[in-house]
Structures are given as C-alpha cells and as structure tokens.
Chains A and B, each alone.
Chain A
Amino acid sequence: MTDLIPFLKEMLSAPGLSGFESPIREIISKAWEPLVDELSVSNIGSLHGYKKAEGNEPRPRVLISAHMDAIGMMVTGIRDGLMHVTEIGGLDHRILPGQPVTVHGREDLPGVIVQPPGHLLPDSVGDGPVEMKYLLVDVGLRPEDVVEKVRVGDTVSYAQDPLELSGEALAGHTLDNRVSVAATTLCLDGLQDRRHIWDVWAVASAQEEETLGGAFTSPFDIRPDIAIVIDVCFAKGPGSNDWRSLPFGEGVGIGYGPNIHPALCEAFEKKAKALEIPYHRDLMPKMSGTDAMAVQIVAEGIPCAVLGIPLRYMHTPVETVSLKDIRRAGRLMAEFIADLTPDSLDQIQWEG
C-alpha cells in the first residue's frame, strides 16, 4: 500500500454516503487488489477481499468488518435555488451552519450549509440552535440553474479538506470510518509476507450508519468462524472525558461487552500485551454501536471482537485521529491473524 496519509486523504476525498458507496468502494478496491486473491461486491454493496490461507481445506475463516460508508445529508426540497436537507446517519445540527459541502447533483456542486438570519426563522428559535429543517444549502448558482442540476434525493457530502495537525494527528470528515479501512489495509499489507493458516475475508461494509445492512449480509455470504469488527471509538477531548472515552493517540480500544465474545477480547488483549502495542479496554455495557451488533447475530451467530481507533469530535467534519493508533490497529490485527492456529477456535469458549 502507498503511504498512510495520501491513502487516507484519497479516501476522504471520495463520497460514499450510506447506500451510495460506489465511489469509495472503487478506491478501496484499487488499494486491496494487489493485497488479496479475490475481490467481490455483495448484493448490498459491501466490498469483499478474500486472502487465501496456506494449508488444507476446510480452513477456518476470519472476517474483518470495517464500514466504509459516511454520514451526510440528502436533499429534501428546493426553494429559490436553496436546498433543504435531511440527515443520513446521526448529525448534530449545531455543527452544520457554515460547513462546506458538496451536493452530488447532475454534477458535483460545491456549496455551504446556511443558517438563515433570525428574522426569517420562527421566533421560537431566538439565539438557540437552528433545527436542520430550517437550514439551507447554497451552491452559488442561480435558482433556474439549481433546478436543472439538483433533484430531491441527491446526496450531500461534507467537503472540509483534511488538516494535518501536530503530533501525527489528522483532522477531517469521515475519518469515521475510513481510518478503520486504512487499518484493515495495513493489516492485509502486513499479512503479505506472513504465513497464515486461516482464510482472511476483509470486508468494507456498506450502510453501517443507517441500517447495518452490510454487517448483516456479508457475514452470511462468508460464514466466518470469528469476526473482527473495527470502527472508531471515542477519544478523550473537549466534552468527552468520562469512562466512555479512551486517551487520544495512546493505543487502540479493545471492546468488552455483550456484542463481544469475552474470549476474543481476552485473546486480543493478550496479543497486544505480548507485542507491546498500547491498548485500553473499551467498555460497551449495552451495545457497541458498531457492525458487531449485526455480525454477532448473523446465521447461527458469530463470535465477534471489536477494535476501536480513538477519535475526537465524532460525526463532525473535523473528526481528529492519531495516525499512530491506525498503524497500531493494523499491526495488531495482522499479528493476531497470523498467529491463529487450527485449534484457535477451541479456545474461544464460554465459561460454565
């Protein structure tokens, strides 16, 4: 694979809202093509990269699920050349005014999200946050040209350019979850010169942010023995400092909770310790908020591990990540997979 930052920036520049993943899928296909034996696309649009193991069949299978879809918006109406939008995925309307966006109309149109002046809003708004239904998107075109180029149902992506911050940090939109796609790519790269006897199925899954559609369907096609779900997790930062958040840039999260098979959690922790890869146990008392919620309950059930790359300001256009944690996650997955033995599955047992 090429360097991490250019690859991440290339991925961030490609749209790929939930249900509209084709542009990002093409970029990931290009990156995975030399790293896997077979590439395929699922019925719902997830990308499957199959890396065949050594050894006799039947071979056990490990699936890595990293969702590739992005949050964003969709045009719901057009008035006087300005667009009303609704959300795809969860957006806090308070971070939207003034955001640069791209409207994917008949052509890509750069624009900005607009908070109309107070006197054009209901009195009840006052100086409080403006709900999404009152926000507008302006692409700088005259009304007659807007209706030619934009239709209800067109998608709208964040367009904030990524920023390289100090200390190997990167800020931008859609780092959730392109950083995990990057880590998965690093993992595949790391497995190139490693012998592994488990078949590896890397999945860039679709529609995590809305329906978990990719996570429900790809494991059904692939039927893995275990699954590693990798996603972003909360990093400590402004407004996010309780037990749910892990230190920024100081290691990967290893999920623990009902979506996760405890033996896999422990196996990952053991591996991280042995490799001296810093990690933190990421407690998920009810649910993980990741593909694992679906993967776990596919077919007769699949034991899941959840890895997390700590991210600040999740679901804003300035999500911030430490490149170190992306590399750590990639390496941890590669080492874990390379060390899987024919009887590894026997060790993934429930107590009692």
Chain B
Amino acid sequence: MKAENMSENAPMIDKDQLGLLEKLCNACAVSGDEFEVRKIVREEVASIVDDFRVDALGNVLATKHGKGENKVRVMLAAHMDEIGLMIVKKHDDDLFQFECVGGIDPRQLPGKAVLVGREHLPGVIGAKPIHMTTKKERQNKIDVSDMRIDLGPQIGEKVKPGDRVTFATRFEVLGPSLRAKALDDRFGVATLVELIKRAPENIDLLAAFTVQEEVGLRGARVAAYALNPDMAIALDSTPAYDLPHWDEEDENVQYNTHLDAGPAIYVMDRATIADQRLVSWLRDTAEINGIPYQFRQPGGGGTDAGVIHKTRSGIPSISVSVPARYAHTAASIARLADWENTLKLLHAALSRVTPDLLTGERRG
C-alpha cells in the first residue's frame, strides 16, 4: 500500500475517540471485576460485529469477518482490567483495610482519593499527620497493612469486604498529553474498538477484550484458545521511563520507551519473543507510511502475548504498545500523538495482511 492511499483511510483521534478513551479511563474495572469496561465495549461494538459473546472468564470475544477468500484470522487482544485494591476488612472504627490487586508500589498509595465499589463511593487513603511522625518513621515506607480507606463516619453497610477500589483520578487533557488512571490498558481497549469500527476487509478480525491481565494473563489464554487465530497482536501500554537520571553525569540508558517517539513495537519482553515476521511487517508498514515508531527496549515486562503465543500449537504473536509514563499509579501521562500513531500503524498494518505474511517457517 502506498502512503497516499493510507492517509485517506487513516484513522484519526477525534472528539469521539477521545470521548471513548475518557469514558474508559474513568470506568473502574479492577482485575476480576471488569463489568464496567465490558459494558462500554458491549455498547460500542456488539451491534457492528458478526459474533459477540462473553466467555466463561468474562472476556469479550467479538468477530468481524472480512470479505473474499484466504483471509488471515488475526486476533487482537486488549485487556479490560486495571490494577487496583480490594477491601478485605472492616475495622471497628468504620475504617477499611485493603489489599493490592496487581502490581502496585505501596509508596503510591498514601494520601490518595479513591472510589469504592460499584457505586464509586468516594474515600481517602489517609496518612498520619507529618507533625506526629518521627524522622525515623519518615525514612520508612508505610506498609499497606497499616493503611486504611476512610469513607466518612456514617458509611454503615454500604461498603463490604470484596469491594474493589480504584484511584479517583479523572481523565484530563494537558496540552499535547493525557493524564488519567488506567491508560494501561484503556489505550488498548479504545484502539481495538476503533479498529473494529474500521476493520479492514482483507482479514477476519478476532477481537479479545481480556480479563485479569494484571494478575496473570488469565483471560488471554482462554480467549486465544477459543478464537484459534492464525496470528495475534496484543495491544497494550508500556512504561516510558524517559526521565533524567538523578545523577546528572549519568545518562538514562534504561528508558524502555520515549514519549513522542510513536508506537512501541516489541521484539522481546520477559514473556514473549516476538515472531520476527511480524516485527518486520510492522516496521515496514511504519517505514512505508511514514509513521513514527520505536522498538521497546528488550527486557522485562509482559503482555497478553505471553500466553497467547503458547496457546494450542503456537500462535505467531507480537505486542504493540502506546508509551505512557507512570503506569500503575494514580495518574499516568501519555501523548495523544503516540496513541494516534499507534492506531494508524495498526490499521495500516492490518490492511496489508495477506496469507504470505505467515508463509514459511518462523525465522530469527
């Protein structure tokens, strides 16, 4: 495909797409309780796909068939869940103890506003007044078991152990950036919704909005089995550690990704060694169409691809992420342009998929 052709159909981020991302980020869907995001996904895509179902784990599996013969079955996976907390105990003084769900640095919790349960009841995770702390105390982090959620003195029975909790951060546009909770992985969910709406006709698009990624990639495993695709792409968000090193003499060589450098294409992470045919395909697509891109620094981390590629007899897989700073905290910051370029790259790449892409042996 030529660059000029792509620009005509290229998806853009407009009011609608931004509005959807905002709705998705403000929704609360801690791993194991993805109801709110599933509901939004259903509203967005159920009526425009050929098959829509919710499986045994709560994954949304949606199929949009292409036209003609020899269509490649491409699975696109984006996880609906986010990191958060669960209420585990009500104490006598109407304060609630909680446990972390997913990878949360406990240092991100004290002094935060939170939303509790399906009703999004406002609460706070307080901290001892600094006036009452000793220097020694301030040199130690506050243990999660010592923190409490306070919803006010008359919360009564409205909150119960088992209720999920998220940060109360509301989605906001800051100049060229977005500030929100759960951009990991509402970026992926919003991208996948948009790709379904603009599904290229040369492929069968098998969309998996997965559950429980943050607690062990559980949804993706059964989704990949059920969809039985020819290839798969995990759409996620990956950290941009593009901050200065504390020591000004030292260069930050472990940045993972940079903001403003475009979609992050994975070669290898802790869970997956990407299929080189797919790496070349994405890179070539970006080059041909003049879409900025970056290779995510190989190393730790993992996405749904980590289980998808080992499902059944093996599924050629890769991941593409929107870079975002401060993942798994109350407020991530990402660039709108990076999201738009991710969407453009994926749309352009899917539009060029032919059975030839997967002919022959895996190389590399």
Contact = CB atoms under 8 A, between A and B. Distances in A.
Please say whether chains A and B are actual partners in one complex.
Answer: yes
Interface stretch (A16-24, A26-34, A92-100, A343-351): A92-100
A119 B239 CA distance: 13
Contact of A98 (B108, B133, B176, B247): B108
Given A92-B138, A165-B150, A289-B131, A117 B243 contact: yes
Contacts of B110: 94-95, 316
A157 B270 CA distance: 40
Interface string A76-96: 000110100000001111111
Interface in B327-342: 329-331, 333
Contacts of A112: 179, 326, 330-331, 333
A161 B331 CA distance: 14
B22 interface: no
Nearest to A171: B124
Interface string B121-164: 11111111111110000111110001110111111101000000
Interface string B21-62: 000000000000000000000000000000000000000000
A234 B132 CA distance: 9
A96 B330 CA distance: 11
B245 A120 contact: yes
B354 interface: no
A237 B150 CA distance: 9
Interface residues of B, number: 67
Contact of B113 (A79, A80, A96, A161): A161
Nearest to A80: B244
B152 A169 contact: yes
Interface string A253-283: 0000000000000000000000000000000
Contact of A316 (B111, B168, B172, B242): B111
B153 A167 contact: yes
B95 interface: yes
Contact of A120 (B121, B131, B177, B252): B252
A190 B167 CA distance: 39
B127 A166 contact: no
Contacts of B70: none
B214 interface: no
Given A98-B108, A128-B139, A141-B177, A318 B241 contact: no
A114 interface: yes
A30 B93 CA distance: 39
Contacts of A95: 110-111, 127
A80 B248 CA distance: 11
A82 B242 CA distance: 11
Nearest to B156: A166
A145 B139 CA distance: 35
A244 B138 contact: no
Contact of A94 (B121, B122, B138, B245): B138
Contacts of A329: none
B18 interface: no
A59 interface: no
B111 A128 contact: no
B226 interface: no
A244 B128 CA distance: 12
A238 B148 contact: yes
Contacts of B147: 238
Given A238-B150, A314-B131, A134 B246 contact: yes
A117 B131 CA distance: 28
Given A112-B179, A163-B168, A238 B243 contact: no
A166 B117 CA distance: 14
B259 to A, nearest CB: 9
A165 B123 contact: yes
Nearest to A248: B153
Contact of A117 (B95, B239, B331): B239
List 5 A-B pairs, minimum CB-CB distance, nearest first: A165-B152, A167-B154, A140-B177, A95-B111, A239-B128
9 contacts: A97-B107, A99-B112, A114-B326, A116-B244, A120-B246, A140-B174, A140-B178, A238-B146, A320-B124
Given A98-B331, A171-B122, A320-B152, 7 more contacts: A94-B141, A121-B246, A163-B123, A238-B126, A238-B148, A315-B129, A315-B131
Interface of B: 93, 95, 105, 107-108, 110-113, 121-133, 138-142, 146-148, 150-156, 158, 167-170, 172, 174-179, 239, 241-248, 252, 254, 260, 325-326, 329-331, 333
